[in-house]
Each structure stands twice: as C-alpha cells, then as structure tokens.
C-alpha cells in the first residue's frame, strides 16, 4: 500500500514512536526496578543472567546442606570427646589394677566401673542426631550396637554399614563427614580396637590375673592415641565446614552483585532519560504544530 504521508511526516511519526518507546521503557524500569523485563530487552545478556541465578540457587542449597551437616558433625565431635575422656579413665583403672595395694576384692569393684564405662561407650557409639544414628554409616536408621552384660562379649557385632556420605563444598569438591562406630570403637586392627581391649581387661580383672592386666595396660595408651585421631577427624571436618560456609557466603554476595548488574534498573538514569524524552516529545509536537498547512486550494481561492 502506497503511503500518502510525505517523507517529513513519516520521519516525524518514526521519531515520535521512538520517543514513546523510550518513555514506556523508562516507566517500566522505574516502576519495577528491573531493566531486563523480557528476553528481547537484552538478548545478549540473558544467558549470563540465567547462569548466575542457577549458580546462586546451587550455592544457597549447599549452604543449607552444610548447616544440616554441621549439627551431625558437632554431635560426632562431642561424642568422641567424651569417649577420649572415658578411655583416660580406663587407663587409670588399668594402672590401679596392678598396684601392690590393690586386692582381689578391689579388682572386682573395679570391674563394675569398667563395665559401666563399656556400657557408656556403647551408648556413645549409638549416638543419634535428628533421628539418625550418626555412626551407623549409610544405614543411619540402624543402631550400631547393643549391650547385654549377660552375653560374652556383652557388645554385639556392628550392625551398621560403611559410610560413603560426603558433603559438597561450594567450590565443587566434596569431603567426607562421618566415621562409623566400627572404625572408631571396633577396629579390625586389634591394637586399636577399644571394645576388644576393654572386654579383655574386664575379663582379666575378673580372673584377678595381674600379669595379664599388666600386659593389657601396655596397649591402652595406643588405643587412646587412636581415639584422639578419630576425634581429630571431626575437628578437621568442623574446620572444613566453617571454611566452606564462608566461601559460600562470599560466592553468593558476588553472584547477587552480578545478577543485580545484569538485571536491576538504574532508576536515577531512567528518571533522567524519561524527563529528557518527555521534553523531546513536547518539543516535537510543538514544532510539528507550527508547520504550514497550505494546500493548492488555498492559492486558488
């Protein structure tokens, strides 16, 4: 279709349309606070925005997961601290069992203390946090051990499984967060097996066998060192979680700034541009209104 508009009139309409679009864009940015309201606004930046949003969501989820893991690891660390303290008592009682002033009757009394410690250690091995047995490995709904003083040995076999659980660091790496009760209390290495050593010591006290007690005592310090190593694992994991949480917070701040730069409107600039566009629109309309409108009929009249 052939337009009846003159080139100058067409140019005026085009310019007025451009000004109107500026005003509409500025008004939307001012009201919403967002400059990227649809993909067509900045098609070259939309992929960056979506990627930044996805990264922020992932980092926030990792932070939440680390918060949950912290409770479990703190519970494990506290249980191991108590275990180390109990083992110090075992060593003290073991040394007392071979002193020259200790009688057979006294050793039978010490048996009761050792059995009480053993039962308490089983309870620590069965530590539960938020409804989960934290030392049961991946079978965290299964209690690792039972204790029955009428049985020999009184501590059952380990009922859990291996632990494969890891936590994700916001840098993309992962790190282990738990040991099993079997690793801590019931090691396959007899020189570091606390339950086995304690059962043997109790039996030798019951038999009033001072020679055997003396032999038992020689291995207690090594087990104490081993338990301290397991405690150190939880201390190191706590430090890693703290570091990872701090990393995530910094990461999220940077991502939020990136999203803001891509998405948020510069309201002050939009207001200034809106004012300028309004002035230009008024000037254009006034200028167009002052143009002569004579036709051929005006001259023929």
Assign residue 97 the CATH number of its domain. Answer: 1.20.1330.10
User: 3-state SS string over 19-49?
Assistant: HHHHHHHHHHHHHHCECCCCHHHCCCCHHHH
In a domain, 40, yes or no: no
The pLDDT, as a whole number, for residue 49 is 81
CA atoms within 13 A on the CB side of 167: 27
| Per-residue confidence (pLDDT) for residue 299, from 0 to 100 | 46
User: What are the φ and ψ backbone dihedral angles of 133, each rounded to 5 degrees?
Assistant: -80, 105
Taking 70 as the pLDDT cut, the residues of the chain under it are: 1-45, 264-301
Structure tokens that stand for 173 in this block: 């790496």
Parent domain of 70: 48-259
The conformational region for residue 36 under phi > 0 = left, psi -120 to 50 = alpha, else beta, is beta
Name the residue with tokens 């349309």.
Answer: 17
> Which residues have CB under 8 Å from 235's CB, separation 6+?
77
- Give the C-alpha separation, 136 to 157, whole Å: 12
How many structural domains are present in the chain? 1
- Contact between 16 and 257 (Cβ < 8 Å): no
Helix %, strand %, coil % for the chain, to 5? 70, 5, 25
Q: Is residue 108 situated within a structural domain?
A: yes
pLDDT of residue 1: 47
Query: Measured in Å, how far apart are the chain's first and last C-alpha atoms?
Result: 32
DSSP state letters, 133-202: ETTSTT-TTS-S--B-TTSSSSBPPP-S-----EEE-TTS-EEE----HHHHHS-SSGGG-HHHHHHHHH
Q: Which two tokens stand for residue 43?
A: 């098609």
Nearest to 75 by CA among 23, 128, 111, 119: 128
Query: Is 280 a domain residue?
Result: no
Which pLDDT score, from 0 to 100, does residue 262 have? 78
Residue 130: partners with Cβ closer than 8 Å, 6 or more residues away: 68, 71, 72
Residue 274 lies in a domain: no
pLDDT of residue 46: 76
Tell whether 236 is covered by a domain: yes
Assess if residue 249 is contained within a domain.
Answer: yes
pTM passes above 0.85: no
How many degrees, rounded to 5, is the angle at CA 52 between CA 260 and CA 48?
90
Residue 152 within any structural domain of the chain: yes
Q: Is 245 inside any structural domain? A: yes
């Amino acid at each position: 279709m052939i337009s009846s508009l003159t080139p100058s009139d067409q140019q005026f309409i085009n310019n007025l349309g451009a000004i109107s679009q500026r005003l509409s864009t500025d008004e939307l940015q001012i009201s919403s606070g967002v400059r990227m309201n649809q993909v067509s606004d900045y098609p070259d930046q939309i992929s960056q925005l979506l990627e930044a949003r996805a990264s922020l969501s992932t980092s926030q989820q990792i932070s939440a997961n680390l918060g949950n893991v912290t409770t479990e690891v703190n519970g494990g660390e506290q249980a191991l601290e108590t275990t180390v303290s109990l083992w110090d008592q075992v060593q003290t009682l073991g040394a007392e069992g071979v002193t020259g002033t200790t009688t057979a009757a006294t050793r039978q009394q010490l048996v009761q203390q050792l059995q009480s410690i053993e039962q308490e250690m089983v309870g620590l091995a069965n530590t539960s946090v938020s409804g989960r047995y934290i030392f049961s490995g991946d079978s965290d709904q299964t209690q690792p051990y039972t204790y029955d003083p009428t049985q020999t040995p009184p501590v059952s076999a380990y009922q859990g499984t291996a632990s494969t659980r890891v936590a994700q660091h916001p840098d993309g790496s992962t790190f282990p967060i738990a040991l099993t009760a079997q690793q801590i209390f019931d090691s396959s290495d007899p020189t570091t097996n606390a339950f086995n050593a304690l059962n043997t010591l109790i039996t030798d006290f019951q038999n009033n066998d001072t020679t055997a007690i003396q032999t038992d005592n020689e291995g207690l310090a090594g087990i104490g060192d081993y338990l301290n190593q397991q405690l150190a694992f939880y201390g190191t994991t706590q430090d890693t979680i703290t570091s990872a949480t701090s990393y995530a917070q910094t990461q999220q701040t940077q991502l939020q700034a990136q999203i803001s730069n891509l998405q948020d409107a510069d309201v002050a600039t939009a207001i200034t541009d809106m004012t300028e566009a309004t002035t230009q629109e008024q000037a254009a309309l006034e200028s167009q209104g002052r143009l002569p409108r004579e036709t051929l009929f005006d001259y023929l009249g």
